[in-house]
Amino acid sequence: MLVPSKILLDHALQNKYCVGAFNVNNMEQIQGIMQAAKETLSPVIIQASRGALKYSKMIYLQKLMEAAALDNPEIPIAMHLDHGNSFETVKQAVALNFTSVMIDGSLDESGKIPNTYEQNVAITKQVVGYCHPLGITVEGELGTLGGIEDGVGSGKVQLTDPDQAVKFVEETGVDSLAVAVGTSHGAYKFKVAPKLALDIVKAIHEKLPNLALVMHGSSSVPKELVDIVNQYGGQMPNAQGVPLEQIQSVIPHGVAKVNVDTDSRICMTGAVRKYLAENPGKFDPRDYLKPAREALAQMIAVRMKAFLTAGHALEIKQINLAAAKKFYV
C-alpha cells in the first residue's frame, strides 16, 4: 500500500539498510520496479520529477503509481516527488496524493542557481509546515551536487557542511536530508570513478544519528549496460557512475535512501536497441517494451539486494497518511 516514506526510512535507518528510490515516467518502468520489489520483498520508493509529471500529464502517472499499490498490497510503497522546486509544485504533488515530497531549496525555482542558506531554510520550512499536518514526509537538500538531470543542477559542487546540517534540520524540521558527498546527477558526471566523502557522511550521521540521509545521483552506470547501448547503435562514450561498492560503504552511516534514475534509462534503452536491432521487422511497441521492462526488473533487483533492502518489506507496519499525522504532534 502507499505509505509515507518516513516509515520506510526510519526502518531502514534502524536496520542499517537503504531503500532504493527509483524514478518513473511510464507504466513499464513502474511495473519493472514493482516486479523487482515483489520478487525481493523490498520496500520501495517510486518517485516522479517535475519532468515526469509533465511528460505523463500528471494524472496518468498518479493513477499508475496508485495501481502499483493496489497490485502489490504487501509491499510498502512511498509515492515521492523528486526535486520539488517550489511551494506550488509541492501543493500539486499533495493534490495528486503523493505521500512524500522533496523540496530542493538548495537551488532556486529554476533549478539552476544555488539559493542562499536562508532562502533554503525559508522554503523548506514552508513546505514542512504544509506537509506535516497531512502526514506527508519531507526531504530537504543541503549542499549542491554536480551534474545535471531533468534540467536540475547548477553545475557547482558544494559538499554538505555537517554543522550546518544540524542547524538546517533544527530550523526546518525535515524528515530526511539529501546531502552532497561526492555523487552527481546524470551519466557523464565523472571522468574517473568517484570516491565518496565518507568522512562527511560519518560526521553528519554522528551529529544526527536519527536522521535519514539521502544520496542523489547514485546511478552506477554499469559498463555492461552502457556496452549494450553502444553495441546496438548507441553513442554513450565515457559514461561513468558511482560504483555499487561505494554506495554500499555509506549504508552503515545513516544513508537510508539512494536515488537511481540514469541506470534505469540506460538499461531500458539498451534492451530496446538490442531487440530492434535483432528483430528489424517488429513494430509492435509491446514487442520491445516487454524485454525493456524485464531488463529493468533485473537491474533493480540487483540494486535492492546490494542496498540490503531485500527481505524487509513484510517487517514494516504499513500506515497511511492519516495515521502518520501522529509523528508530528
Which residues here bind Zn ion, judged by CB under 5 A?
216
Task: Give me the least distance between CB of 216 and Zn ion, in Å please.
Answer: 3
Task: Give me the least distance between CB of 217 and Zn ion, in Å please.
Answer: 6
Contact present, 150 and 51 (Cβ < 8 Å) = yes
Task: Give me the least distance between CB of 185 and Zn ion, in Å please.
Answer: 6
The CB-nearest residue to Zn ion is 216
Contact present, 210 and 13 (Cβ < 8 Å) = yes
The residue among 158 and 298 lying less far from Zn ion, judged by its C-beta, is 158
The residue among 20 and 135 lying less far from Zn ion, judged by its C-beta, is 20
Which residue, 114, 137, 128, is CA-closest to 168?
128
The residue among 141 and 295 lying less far from Zn ion, judged by its C-beta, is 141
Classify the phi-psi angles of 101: left when phi > 0, otherwise alpha if psi is within -120 to 50, otherwise beta: beta
What sign does the CA torsion over 202, 212, 114, 150 have? positive
- How many angstroms separate the CA atoms of 266 and 11, rounded? 30
End-to-end C-alpha distance for the chain, whole angstroms? 24
The residue among 216 and 253 lying less far from Zn ion, judged by its C-beta, is 216
Contact residues for 93 (Cβ-Cβ < 8 A; gap 6+) = 53, 81, 84, 101
The residue among 11 and 80 lying less far from Zn ion, judged by its C-beta, is 80
The residue among 11 and 216 lying less far from Zn ion, judged by its C-beta, is 216
**Between the CA of residue 23 and those of 20, 104, 160, 186, what are the distances in Å?**
10, 16, 24, 13
Task: Give me the least distance between CB of 295 and Zn ion, in Å please.
Answer: 23
Quote the Cα angle for 54-58-59, to 5°: 155
Element of type H or E holding 141 = strand 137-142
- CA R_g for the chain: 19
What single-letter amino acid sits at 272?
Answer: V
Q: Which of 10, 82, 108, 175 is an active site residue?
A: 82
Contact residues for 118 (Cβ-Cβ < 8 A; gap 6+) = none
Query: Is 82 a known active-site residue?
Result: yes
Task: Give me the least distance between CB of 49 and Zn ion, in Å please.
Answer: 8
- How many angstroms separate the CA atoms of 18 and 237, rounded? 30
Q: What single-letter DSSP state applies at residue 215?
A: E
Task: Give me the least distance between CB of 141 and Zn ion, in Å please.
Answer: 8
Element of type H or E holding 81 = strand 77-84
Active-site positions read 82
